[in-house]
Amino acid sequence: MSTKKTAAPSIDGTPAAEILRRLEISITRRLDGLLQGDHRGLTPGHGSEPGEIRAYQPGDDVRRIDWNVTARLGETHVRDSVADRELETWILVDASASLAFGTATCEKRDLALAAAAATGFLTARTGNRIGAMTIGPDGASPPIPARSGRVHMQALLRRVLGALDNPQPGRTDLTAGLRRISGTAKRRGLIVVISDFLDPGLWDAALRTLALRHDVLCIEVVDPVELELPDVGMLVLHDTVTGHEIEVPTGNAKFRERYALAAAEQRAGIASRIRATSADHLVLRTDRDWLLDLARFVSRRRDRIDPLSRSAAHGSGNVGAIAGATLTTGAVR
């Protein structure tokens, strides 16, 4: 891996303590200036206490439609709920060999670690519990129990970093990982799935089942070469999953065009499969500022869920801040 300064710290050649220290500083300092409210997070959601009624907006969860009010007013309305402080979050990290790849400022596994750290640091600061699990060709790792506290968060990230730093050859069954974490996360909360979603299996069915009980966020990590090939002449590509090598004529403009079209169709298919499960979808690229993309995602989703949250978050009451800008989705629906 390149030794130049990266958007997300490099895994190879850098001590784990230094990686996690840099991540924590980057996340807490930069996002504090971009997100509003006392309690900040990735997916500001709903809790268990009934809240106000408002008109339905595209993208709202249909499970929150208040049919009694809808019948009386003749227009679809949803009932918001006040977010609880306590949240249990589980992170599933894809530790496939395909993530040990990157041609821009970092590798995809760097982004995977950064996404896990962002989820953890932003959640743990409010005293919520967080657990994790990795999935590779050899199956899912033993789950890291959901606990609170900075020490637990550091230990969790060290385990995730260890799995990403030592990827095993072979194909990963993402479906098995989703089913495993579904059986592990007994309490309703937030599930964050971090992967490149290149597994050709029927993982969307397992993701849909998971989304019926939990709020689910899928974080897709992408490298620009997976979307468009540069013109560098004859290029030898090595498949980290199968071990096969292939020569690619990148100097051929028509070949590059066909590649870009096929890659666009593949990514559109992944996005469509995730969207069909009602899960949220965040794309992080190795050639972009991942923290800025994360902050934009938080802002857009917060405004979509609660248009009044921005003004409420500036109020003195904790309820307004929590409802407007927290990671909390509610332990009980």
Q: How far is CA 65 from the centre of its chain?
A: 26
Is the pLDDT assigned to residue 323 strictly greater than 80?
A: no
List phi, psi (to 5°) of 236: -95, 120
- CB-neighbour burial class of residue 320 (10 A; exposed 0-12, middle 13-18, buried 19+): buried
75: Cβ–Cβ under 8 A, 6 or more apart, which residues?
55, 56
CATH T-level assignment (fold) for domain 83-288: Rossmann fold (3.40.50)
* Token pair belonging to 76: 């679809």
* Token pair belonging to 220: 């897709």
What pLDDT is attached to residue 312? 39
More confident residue, 123 or 215: 215
Q: Give the HSE-up count for residue 194: Cα atoms under 13 Å, Cβ half-sphere.
A: 26
Is the pLDDT assigned to residue 306 strictly greater than 70?
A: no
Is the pLDDT assigned to residue 3 strictly greater than 70?
A: no
pTM for this entry: 0.73
User: What is the residue extent of each domain of the chain?
Assistant: 49-82, 83-288
Is the pLDDT assigned to residue 320 strictly greater than 50?
A: no
What pLDDT is attached to residue 52? 72
Local confidence band at 319 (pLDDT 50, 70, 90 cut-offs): very low
- The arithmetic mean of pLDDT across residues 144-172, rounded, is 88
- For residue 108, which of 159, 167, 158, 153 has the smallest C-alpha distance? 167
Q: Give the least confident one: 31-35, 56-60, 126-130, 317-321.
A: 317-321
